[in-house]
Amino acid sequence: MALRRALVATVIVVAGFVGGLVISGRLSQTQSATATQTAPASQVQGRATTLTTSATLPDLSSVAEQALKVSANISSTTVIEPPNDPISRWFYGNQAQRSQSLGSGVVVSPDGYVLTNRHVIGNAGAEIRVTLPDGAERPGKLVGIDEISDLAVVKVEAQNLQTLPWGDSEQLRVAEWVLAIGNPFQLSGTVTLGIVSTVRRRAEQVGAYQDFIQTDAAINPGNSGGALINARGELVGINTMIYTETGGYQGIGFAIPSNKARAIMRELIEHGSVTWGSLGDVRWATVNGEAARRFDLGSNTGVLVWQISRSAPAYRAGLQPGDVVLAFNGTPVTDAEQLDRLIVGSKVGTTAKLELVRSNGRRLTLDIPVVSRQQAAGSMRR
């Protein structure tokens, strides 16, 4: 027990989005700097002449016109009930508070299904209003919402709406032209142009469960849930968040790839929720290099089992508090966030292999059934 407490004291718990990522206009405390070297005037002039004569920007006006015909504005109002305890009521009052969120959406079916971000909607009890591309405002019914992917589907009563073809996000290339469509700062019908900066920004770099398309097309608060379109007029992503020092555009935006968004959308429409993998109620914590050396783990940094519920499938399979997980299905794990992503992305009904080391130095491999997060939550309530 003393060893476990000491080990826990030396681990770093990793959770949530990394600093600087904004999905609703929060400010970052990060700083960045660039260094440039000035070339002689003759060299600059020569390069400018070459670029002017050889480079031609594409005309994407027709693509933008079609994209605007599928862009929706979404307003969501959530009622926040006052707290129950008397001390909080004394500070915050007894009146319910109304919180409003404004964002964008993409019409994805002629009969009124609209894809957007979960954080644009807020929660399942929100009152939703959707302004369609023709300017008509309609009440929206929440079809499905998923916190992990940050996606939601809303349905409005409409027919014969225009849609865009889905693009294959796996075929995107760095420096390919893209358009971001949305409602930044309530300025509806805004189109911005940029390129694909990175085709697969790794999830661990942005603190999320999936990889993202990174773009320098201007994305600002209110663009969330809007479309990212390629030069062929195909939907290749759903704009979701930005990296910023000011709360506004600084050239680093992120979109959920269309292949992932489309698959999740289908599950939301068919089932109202998404089935993600789980090993039960397990709390993980990252073991850093110093802790590994201190407790004779050698170079085996990994993830500590900090807490585990006795009802968890992982516990029943033999996982214990104090175990340090070294690999998941053969993939070495180095931090708690990475392990969470691997578990969440596992197919329900399969078996996960966890390679680990016990506090006594014994190494072993456990086979643990992967259940759905809903099933895991249900076992906790029993």
Q: What is the mean pLDDT of residues 256-267?
A: 97
Tell me the CATH number at 249: 2.40.10.10
280 within domain boundaries: yes
- Asked if residue 182 belongs to a domain, the reply is yes
Higher pLDDT, 24 or 232: 232
pLDDT digit string (tens) for 37-64? 333 433 434 443 444 444 577 899 999 9
Instruction: Classify residue 245: in a domain, yes or no.
Output: yes
Q: Which of 248, 271, 294 is the last residue of a domain?
A: 271
> Range of 336's domain?
276-381
Tens digits of per-residue pLDDT, 279-309?
A: 999 999 888 777 677 666 666 678 999 999 9
Single residue among 240, 271, 302 that ends a domain in this structure: 271
Q: Give yes or no for residue 15 having a pLDDT over 60.
A: no
Within a domain: residue 19?
no
Asked if the structure places residue 53 within a domain, the reply is no
Q: Which of 94 and 274 is assigned the larger pLDDT?
A: 274
Pick the last residue of a domain from 128, 155, 182: 155
**Residue 1 placed within a domain:** no
Looking at residues 351-380, what average pLDDT do you find?
89
Q: Quick one: pLDDT band at residue 19, thresholds 50, 70, 90?
A: very low
Q: What is the pLDDT of residue 80?
A: 75
Q: Which residue has the tokens 């499938």?
A: 313
Same-domain pairing of 321 and 375: yes
Predicted confidence band of residue 153 (pLDDT cuts 50, 70, 90)? very high
- The answer on 199 and 169 residing in a single domain is yes
Domains: count for the chain: 3
- pLDDT bin (cut points 50, 70, 90) of residue 145 is very high
In a domain, residue 54? The reply is: no
Q: What is the mean pLDDT of the chain?
A: 84
Are residues 203 and 147 part of one domain? no
Instruction: Please tell me the pTM assigned to this model.
Output: 0.79
User: What amino acid positions are annotated as catalytic residues?
Assistant: 119, 150, 224
Is there a single domain that holds both residue 218 and residue 196?
yes
Are residues 193 and 212 part of one domain?
Answer: yes
103-112, 187-196, 232-241, 371-380, range with the lowest pLDDT? 371-380
What Cα–Cα distance (Å) separates residue 287 from each residue in 4, 146, 299, 333?
12, 30, 11, 10
The predicted model gives 308-334 an average pLDDT of 95
* CATH number, domain with residue 326: 2.30.42.10
